[in-house]
Amino acid sequence: MGRYACLLLLLASLQAASLPRLAPNLAPVVDSLGDLRTRLHIPGLAAAITLDGQVVWRGEWGNLTTTTPRDVASVTKTMAAVIALQEVERGRLNLQDAVAGLPGVQVRHLLSHTSAGKPGTSFHYNNPRYGVMGPILERSAGQSFARLLQQRVLGPSGMRGTRPGANTVSGVVSDVEDLARYLVALDGDELLGEREKQWMWMPMAAGMPYALGWYSQSYAGQRVVWHYGQLNGYGSSLVVKIPALRANLVVLSNSSLLSDAYHLESGDILRSPLGRSFLSAMVDHLPVEASPGPRPKPPITSIVFPAPRATTRRAIVYGLGL
């Protein structure tokens, strides 16, 4: 190959390396939300999608807006898990700590809903057992859980319109825009370091749908973590995160059908047409060689509505289980 041809090849390679990744087609996600609202007769929906720290889309249907406060129900559990891993990070709590009054049960078993039966061997969603984490965190940090939520999660995430709850199971009242800020804060280092996030999003064992405070599964080689909240008859919430892509979906509804109609308690976000359309939009267009994760880049540190700051993303490596 001649010198001129080599130069052209080098220039082409540099240009290709500098191209941004392809923008996802969000139309199917928007269509899915509208279709779900019509088909399930949902009075109101509000949603947002963030990518690399920017709100790339937000939508409102019926009598909800992206700033309408709603009880997020069990999405509160994800915030409790964040605080638990913060305590681990600070050296005041260990995931293998024994839980008083529950023989053989450790902190990680409460957080992963594997404390029933032989601890650590099977998944059984258990609100009362998860609620035991409240007193554990309060003793570890020396503060009420509501104060911990405010100081450790809501404040650092910029969730100024969110009201903390009093227990680890449910009770946080938030809106779509604040929940988006929360998910973006998790994309950076504001709430947790990379090692602790890996632990939090790592299923207890192969085949289990739940990690520590989050449902966790794989889609086309990407780790997907998510959680839903359901208030029987009058509300539901859904947050979906693809950590390595720094892509997030937030949905709030004033009907429980958003989650109940697709039995998300099974632990498979792909049961939901909305979940499938979001993952497909974010992942399916990626080149196969790029799908395991992006190259390391600086972390996201904040998100501001309505004009969030553009930032970049960093790769995450996952282990096999705790």
The one-letter code for the residue type at 42 is: I
The whole-angstrom separation of Cα 197 and Cα 316 is 9
pTM of the complete model beyond 0.95: no
Least Cα distance to 261 among 38, 30, 47 occurs for 38
The whole-angstrom separation of Cα 122 and Cα 16 is 47
pLDDT of residue 116: 92
The one-letter code for the residue type at 128 is: P
Domains of the chain are: 22-290 (3.40.710.10)
The one-letter code for the residue type at 30 is: V
The whole-angstrom separation of Cα 111 and Cα 98 is 13
Q: Hey, is 291 helix, strand or coil?
A: coil
Answer yes or no: are the C-beta atoms of 165 and 174 closer than 8 Å.
no
The vertex-85 CA angle with 242 and 276, nearest 5°, equals 20
For 35-86, the pLDDT digits (tens) are 999 999 999 999 999 999 999 999 999 999 999 999 999 999 999 999 999 9
pLDDT of residue 272: 95
Q: Please give the DSSP secondary-structure letter assigned to residue 205.
A: S
The one-letter code for the residue type at 48 is: A
The whole-angstrom separation of Cα 234 and Cα 104 is 38
pLDDT of residue 310: 34
Radius of gyration for the chain, computed over Cα atoms and rounded to the nearest angstrom = 20
Answer yes or no: are the C-beta atoms of 222 and 246 closer than 8 Å.
no
pLDDT of residue 292: 47
Q: State the residue for tokens 């409240």.
A: 134
Q: Hey, is 66 helix, strand or coil?
A: coil
The whole-angstrom separation of Cα 106 and Cα 276 is 34
Q: State the residue for tokens 């996952």.
A: 318
pLDDT of residue 308: 30
Residue 105 vs residues 85, 95, 110, 114, 146: alpha-carbon distances, Å: 18, 11, 8, 9, 25
55 exposure class (CB count in 10 Å sphere: 0-12, 13-18, 19+): buried
Q: Hey, is 314 helix, strand or coil?
A: coil
Residue 322 vs residues 23, 48, 196, 204: alpha-carbon distances, Å: 35, 32, 12, 5
pLDDT of residue 290: 46
How many CB atoms sit inside 10 A of residue 256's CB?
Answer: 20
Q: Please give the DSSP secondary-structure letter assigned to residue 149.
A: I
List per-residue pLDDT tens for the chain, 322 residues long. Answer: 444 333 333 333 333 333 345 578 999 999 999 999 999 999 999 999 999 999 999 999 999 999 999 999 999 999 999 999 999 999 999 999 999 999 999 999 999 999 999 999 999 999 999 999 999 999 999 999 999 999 999 999 999 999 999 999 999 999 999 999 999 999 999 999 999 999 999 998 888 999 999 999 999 999 999 999 998 878 999 999 999 999 999 999 999 988 888 999 989 999 999 999 999 999 998 886 544 444 444 443 333 333 333 333 222 222 233 3
The whole-angstrom separation of Cα 253 and Cα 23 is 27
Answer yes or no: are the C-beta atoms of 82 and 192 closer than 8 Å.
yes
